[in-house]
Amino acid sequence: MVIRNSMTQRLKSLILISIAAASFWQFDACSGTENPANTSDAGDFVFGVMNGVNLKIPRYYLFAPVIHEGEPRIDISGIAQTAHKDPEIDTFGMLLRMSNLQPIRTEQDKQDWLVASRQTMFMRSWLMVSLDKRYHLNLDKDRPDMIPEWGPYILDKNHPFNLMHFESVQSVDDGMEQMYGHVEYFYDKTTDTTIFCQTFRMRVTPFSTFDICQQRFLVPKLHVMASATYTKKDLYKWPEIEGRIVALIDSFARN
């Protein structure tokens, strides 16, 4: 299965997520229900099951509420599912500070995120992580599913960051305007990790470029794919990012 979303759609999705996350934290700050210093109460955790694994997730790790199967969820198309109570978790996401790969823990962390979420390129300082059972399990280690229309691609024999690297011959100014820019695929031949990066040029002054990468990898304990979104300047940290996320998620397991 190949996901053919344009970068415009991806950015819209990220903006919607950041708005929802900011609203989530603002509401929480007003209601006073969040207290990272005291997690002794059941209300400080979200409980559920994902692929047979019981999870206990600290609420303040989340950048938006956990969605259980059947609960209303509005995606970019505006279509919502019918709600019903079900402990099976469909999707959840975490927010980590890129500088130390730590989740939101303090009031200062919250305030820093609220400030960053008002900026278009908040991914430069914050790492957004999502787990969704709808993600295709990418277990084919031969090569990533590359979209032909964005190529052709050239194999980089230098193996940057110990990854296989395919780069489109199209420049940042080629292709459909405001759609996909310059495309690169990175993948690890020893695992299922795939990283997809796109570089764009702003359409307004100063017409500078910006980029975004999405790293997908398997969380073995849950047998589900995770997605981490950040900018290309942090691509070299991909093993650390993956290891940290897997360790955090493993710590949520109760069985």
Cis peptide before 148 (omega within 30 of 0): no
Q: Which residue has the higher pLDDT, 66 or 49?
A: 49
pTM recorded for the entire structure: 0.75
Q: What percentage of residues in the chain have a pLDDT greater than 90?
A: 29
In 225-244, which positions are buried (b, 16+ CB within 10 angstroms) versus exposed (e)?
bbbbbbbeebbebbeebbeb
Q: Is the pLDDT of residue 220 over 80?
A: yes
- The answer to whether residue 166 scores a pLDDT higher than 60 is yes
Element spanning 248, H or E: helix 238-251
The string of pLDDT tens digits covering residues 41-54 is 456 888 999 989 99
CA angle 220/122/16 to nearest 5° reads: 75
Q: What is the pLDDT of residue 147?
A: 83
Q: pLDDT-derived band of residue 233, with 50, 70 and 90 as boundaries?
A: very high
The residue ranking higher by pLDDT, 115 or 12, is: 115
65-69, 87-91, 183-187: lowest mean pLDDT where? 65-69
* Least confidently predicted of 24-38, 107-121, 205-219: 24-38
**Rg of the chain (C-alpha set):** 19
Name the range with the highest mean pLDDT among 121-135, 205-219, 235-249.
Answer: 235-249
175, 197 Cβ separation under 8 angstroms: no
The model's pLDDT over 87-101, given as tens digits with 9 standing for 90+, comes to 788 889 988 988 899
Kindly give, in sequence order, each residue whose CB lies less than 8 Å from that of residue 161, ignoring residues fewer than 6 positions away.
186, 235, 236, 238
Q: One-letter amino acid identity for 210? A: F
Q: Are 234 and 143 in contact (CB under 8 A)?
A: no
The mean pLDDT value for 113-142 works out to: 75
Q: Please report the pLDDT score of residue 76 as a whole number.
A: 44
What confidence score (pLDDT) does residue 120 get?
64
pLDDT of residue 177: 57
Contacts with 249 (C-beta within 8 Å, 6 or more apart), sequence order: 131, 219, 221, 222, 226
Do the Cβ atoms of 87 and 117 come closer than 8 Å?
Answer: no
Residue 174 pLDDT > 80, yes or no?
A: no
| pLDDT tens-digit readout, 104-126 | 878 888 888 878 777 667 777 88
